[in-house]
Amino acid sequence: MTSRTNTKYTEIQDVQGRPLLLDFWVSPFCMRVKIALNEKGLQYEARPKDLFGGKSELLLNSNPIYKKVPVFLHDGKPLCESTIIVSCIDETRSSPPLPPPCSYGRAQALFWAYYIDKKVFDACGNIWRCKGEVPLEAKNEFIEILKQLEEALGDKDYINDDTFRFVDIIAISLTSWFFSVEKIDELTVADHCPNFPSWMKRCLQRECVAKVVPEPEKVYELVLMFRKIQGID
């Protein structure tokens, strides 16, 4: 971020004293933003959007390109795309810092954030959207992606290092969908990535995460509804 951008986002308070997040409770991308705000101790208003009953004018005007949540509004200025929003939130308050302290660590964090964005949710969707038996390729793709993340985790407490940071925020919200994948594909993440569940549990025990990430069973109920609406079941 340039100094000009830093100045622009020095404070993220609207005229009511809180920024506004256009939210959908089950969206892992919205969860990321809320986790980052909670970790920073920043107050905000999460305004739920009904994505099934038609998208609101506020959402369409705030994100005319993709027309989806999350959108983070400060003083009428919208920010879109969750990874970008989390990065900007980090600039509003120095403590606790979300990226690693060194330039190499920050570059690695961005690499894994982009990897997660490109791979994980789509791999989940390729399974839960399947009609009938899940193709072996879809199952293997999901497992291989998680194995890559587990390799990055190694024996550390968190993905970048031993501190809960940027990549953990980007990744942990997506794990709320893993239960649905396991139910539909009859697989168990722990069987393929034995260290991953410990990292998930460690993250979910943090207050900033626990108050945001829904019960996996609730996500599964919504997945079943999606499948019914789309004629999969």
pLDDT digits (tens, 9 = 90+) for 115-129: 999 999 999 999 999
Q: How many CB atoms lie within 10 A of CB 193?
A: 20
Nearest to 159 by CA among 83, 114, 226, 108: 108
> 134 and 85, same structural domain?
no
Q: Helix axis angle, 82-92 relative to 103-128, nearest 10°?
A: 150
> 109 and 79, same structural domain?
no
Q: Is 175 exposed, middle or buried (0-12, 13-18, 19+ CB in 10 A)?
A: buried
> 73 and 107, same structural domain?
no
Better pLDDT: 76 or 127: 127
Strands 20-23 and 77-80: unpaired
> 111 and 82, same structural domain?
no
Q: Is 36 exposed, middle or buried (0-12, 13-18, 19+ CB in 10 A)?
A: buried
Q: How many structural domains compose the chain? A: 2
Is residue 53 scored above 60 in pLDDT?
Answer: yes
Report pLDDT for 1: 35
pLDDT digits (tens, 9 = 90+) for 158-217: 998 889 999 999 999 999 999 999 999 999 999 999 999 999 999 999 999 999 999 999
Polymer length of the chain: 233
Report the CATH number at residue 124: 1.20.1050.10
Asked whether residue 97 is assigned to any structural domain, the reply reads: no
Q: Helix axis angle, 136-153 relative to 196-204, nearest 10°?
A: 70
Asked whether residue 131 is assigned to any structural domain, the reply reads: yes
| Tokens describing residue 139 | 């199952």
Cα 58 to chain center, whole Å? 22
pLDDT digits (tens, 9 = 90+) for 33-51: 999 999 999 999 999 988 7
> 216 and 182, same structural domain?
yes
> 199 and 142, same structural domain?
yes
Report pLDDT for 4: 34
| Residue 17 pLDDT level (bands cut at 50, 70, 90) | low
Range of the domain at 18: 3-92
d(CA 149, CA 142): 11
From 57, 92, 127, the end of a domain falls on: 92
> 216 and 144, same structural domain?
yes
> 134 and 87, same structural domain?
no
Is residue 9 scored above 50 in pLDDT?
Answer: no
Mean pLDDT of 3-21: 52
Report pLDDT for 76: 78
Is residue 7 scored above 70 in pLDDT?
Answer: no
d(CA 52, CA 50): 5
Asked whether residue 162 is assigned to any structural domain, the reply reads: yes
Mean pLDDT of 92-105: 91
d(CA 23, CA 39): 18
From 92, 125, 151, the end of a domain falls on: 92
Asked whether residue 55 is assigned to any structural domain, the reply reads: yes
Report the CATH number at residue 43: 3.40.30.10
> 124 and 68, same structural domain?
no
Asked whether residue 98 is assigned to any structural domain, the reply reads: no
> 138 and 62, same structural domain?
no
Mean pLDDT of 78-98: 93
The model's pTM: 0.91
From 48, 63, 92, the end of a domain falls on: 92
Asked whether residue 223 is assigned to any structural domain, the reply reads: yes
Asked whether residue 164 is assigned to any structural domain, the reply reads: yes
> 25 and 52, same structural domain?
yes
Asked whether residue 39 is assigned to any structural domain, the reply reads: yes
> 112 and 86, same structural domain?
no
List of E strands, 24-181: 45-48, 71-74, 77-80
